[in-house]
Amino acid sequence: MTPADRINELRRLIRHHDERYYVLNDPEVADVEFDALMKELERLEADHPGLVTDDSPTRRVGGRVAAGFATVEHAEPMLSLDNTYSEEELRAFDDRVRRGLGLDAAGPDAVAYVAELKIDGVSIALTYDRGVLVRGATRGDGSRGEDVTPNIRTIRAIPLRLHEGTPAGRVEVRGEVYLPRRAFERTNSEREAAGEMLFANPRNAAAGTLRNLDPALVAARGLRAWFYQVVPGRLPTHAGTLDDLRGLGLPVEPHWRRCVGVGAVLAFCREWDQQRRSLDFDTDGVVIKVDELANRRLLGATSKFPRWAVAFKFPAEQKTTLLRAIEVNVGRTGAVTPFAVLEPVFIAGSTVSMATLHNADDIARKDIREGDWVLVEKAGDVIPRVVGPVRDRRPPGAQPWVMPSACPRCGAALQRAEGEVVWRCENTSCPAKLQRGLEHFASRAAMNIEGLGESLIAQLIAGRLVTDYADVYALGTGTLATLTSTSLRADGKAIERRFGEKNAAKVVAQIDRSRSNDLWRLIFGLGIRHVGERAAQVLADAFGSMDALGTASVEQLEATPEIGPVLAASMRSWCDEPRNRALLDRLRAAGVRMEVPPEQRAARRVAGPLAGRTYVLTGTLASMTRDEAAAAIERLGGKVAGSVSRKTTAVVAGVDAGAKAEKAGALGVPLLDEAAFLALIASGQ
């Protein structure tokens, strides 16, 4: 057998086993055997690079995504569904469908529906060209989404190639990317151990993951997918379409059922409201669709929703329990938020002993008091919430709760900005803020300093060894080694434990390594309000250095794709604060990398969406200066030239454009007016 034959055979086998595992849920081989096939293929491809193709199973993870994701226009809009919350509302939906189809509302004719479990994930549209995956896009606002192909490719449940004998030409399939519950719990426990913010629910985790700029991270999270639509529809029924999708080799959630009449639909909903905990993914309801595509066409759509489908939401799970105390927590930004300490109670699959109380106003409005019996709800989120008190079980003498007027950690008077509901500790050296801030700074998602966790940080702050992030870089092995922690032995005797040379050396090495981190890790680690992991990546890619970012105007920040006015203003005001500028100077002096290395920048410029295109600017633009326009083009990888030639991609012509615009006309070079130019920058195309 030639290497080429063996490579083809291995790819076929791997695709087959992926399908057994992800689509049919019926694996034929153990993981080790599968891994052996994969290893053999990797080895053969390494020896014969000429035989590597894009749809090979070894090619799922590519390099980092440069310059953000491009915008994608959906040929057919991806509508969302109207929600129903009760059986009456579902019956009313059925009545509307029957009327729309000209059936007697009270008559015996029943409509055939397909009921599917509603997956709490992210809607996506995939395009296959002659059976090969060429594009994966998010739903976005329904008419425009993001091209997240590199990340979609990493999801092993999604075939890079459809079954042989699939339709010629292009096929678009739609479905939902989700994170199975176990993968979600694993992700959150890893984040918790690293002191990172937890994802509120699997949907947020899936959405955040799918838009991350690092496909290797996406691959590690373990996303899955289910599919439910082919666009345009090519079979007369929805039930047929679901079978068709599976036939193409795509995963379809297997519990769907064809239900004739609304009674059968209601039975399906009741059944799954009881059974949904047995699934390995979160479902928050049932999607009900008219089965016949011809009937769907008759029913049509409103501007927002199709008239032939509806979502039924399961009621949130609630329990009553005793509210033992209301305590407050001081966050990284100084926000002081109340939370409920509860008598432990089992809700929706886990024991709950704490719940959020949102804010002081909310507690007052609902009149929640310590000692009350309260209704607690878990509505798809990890953190349960207190719905309200059970008034007639209130113990005599229970007093209304009062928000503390001082920070529980440093004693500074709490303040509240005009129009805000959140009380804050504005003391810049509040140890609680420094503690949370440092935990975030050192966390794996940010500066990734392993070993610098909650308890070590607490000791460093208590010993006044650190008063800001830059102090971390002055820590030596000697200082850390002598730190001691006290713990109680089982017999009640206190024992002191030294941190020790070995641990100290490890942490110092980690701190040292973090000096040469990618710039976005620093930007994220600084904990600037509204600047998340992804925004930090976008800003680092766009500006290239802390200096450029620190001096960027709000307008320049806002001109960056995905950066909105709130984030831009927050970034600007953080940089204007002298204390923060001093912190940056101290970090720089400590040797922390403050820019994207030039070769990385150049590589990204080449890979930008305007790579290989040249623009000439002429005339005056109303929304930006010529320098800003040039910077925007360069950020997207394009070039700006001073004169027009046949090689010019287009001339951007503002008001009073002169000779250059005329020359463009003579050479047949396209002219872009300001609106077209802004659209070009916004779409990154």
Bridge partners, 226 (sequence order): 176
Which is closer to Zn ion, CB of 425 or CB of 542? 425
CA–CA distances in Å: residue 659 to residues 171, 644, 656: 47, 10, 10
Residue 381 host element (H or E): none
Q: Mark whether 319 is an active-site residue.
A: no
| Smallest distance from Zn ion to CB 436, Å | 11
Spatial contact of 558 and 564, defined as CB atoms under 8 Å apart: yes
Which is closer to Zn ion, CB of 425 or CB of 480? 425
Which is closer to Zn ion, CB of 410 or CB of 465? 410
| Smallest distance from Zn ion to CB 461, Å | 12
Residue 578 preceded by cis peptide, ω within 30 = no
| Smallest distance from Zn ion to CB 462, Å | 15
Residues in the chain: 685
What is the C-alpha to C-alpha distance for residues 412 and 680, in angstroms, rounded to an integer?
50
**Which residue, 648, 610, 645, is CA-closest to 631?**
610
Spatial contact of 79 and 301, defined as CB atoms under 8 Å apart: yes
| Smallest distance from Zn ion to CB 403, Å | 14
What is the C-alpha to C-alpha distance for residues 587 and 50, in angstroms, rounded to an integer?
47
Sole residue written with tokens 């040039």: 630
Which is closer to Zn ion, CB of 178 or CB of 423? 423
CA–CA distances in Å: residue 106 to residues 102, 114, 262, 602: 12, 21, 12, 69
What is the C-alpha to C-alpha distance for residues 190 and 591, in angstroms, rounded to an integer?
29
Which is closer to Zn ion, CB of 110 or CB of 412? 412
Other C-beta atoms within 10 Å of 607: how many?
A: 14
| Smallest distance from Zn ion to CB 425, Å | 3
Strand 423-425 to strand 335-347: parallel, antiparallel, or no bridges (unpaired)?
A: antiparallel
Which is closer to Zn ion, CB of 425 or CB of 672? 425
What is the C-alpha to C-alpha distance for residues 639 and 589, in angstroms, rounded to an integer?
34
Which is closer to Zn ion, CB of 577 or CB of 627? 577
| Smallest distance from Zn ion to CB 434, Å | 9
Sole residue written with tokens 């050396």: 505
| Smallest distance from Zn ion to CB 157, Å | 47
What are the counts of helices (DSSP H) followed by strands (DSSP E) for the chain?
25, 24
Dihedrals phi, psi of 532, to nearest 5 degrees: -90, -175
CA angle 72, 530, 184 (to 5 degrees): 70
| Smallest distance from Zn ion to CB 406, Å | 8
In 3-state terms, what secondary structure has residue 383?
A: coil
Dihedrals phi, psi of 536, to nearest 5 degrees: -65, -40
What is the C-alpha to C-alpha distance for residues 596 and 291, in angstroms, rounded to an integer?
54
| Smallest distance from Zn ion to CB 424, Å | 9
Q: What is the DSSP letter of 291?
A: S
Other C-beta atoms within 10 Å of 519: how many?
A: 24
Side-chain half-sphere exposure of 176, counting CA atoms within 13 A? 21
What is the C-alpha to C-alpha distance for residues 547 and 552, in angstroms, rounded to an integer?
9
In 3-state terms, what secondary structure has residue 620?
A: strand
Strand 650-653 to strand 614-618: parallel, antiparallel, or no bridges (unpaired)?
A: parallel
Residue type, 130: R
Residue type, 373: W
Structure tokens, 208? 């955040």
Catalytic residue, chosen from 39, 118, 647, 660, is: 118
What is the C-alpha to C-alpha distance for residues 330 and 461, in angstroms, rounded to an integer?
16
Give me the helices (H) in 577-673, please.
578-589, 598-607, 626-635, 659-667
Which is closer to Zn ion, CB of 329 or CB of 545? 329
Which is closer to Zn ion, CB of 115 or CB of 425? 425
Q: Which residues bind Zn ion (CB under 5 A)?
A: 407, 409-410, 412, 425, 427, 430
| Smallest distance from Zn ion to CB 334, Å | 7
Other C-beta atoms within 10 Å of 484: how many?
A: 12
Which is closer to Zn ion, CB of 406 or CB of 589? 406
Q: Which residues are catalytic?
A: 118
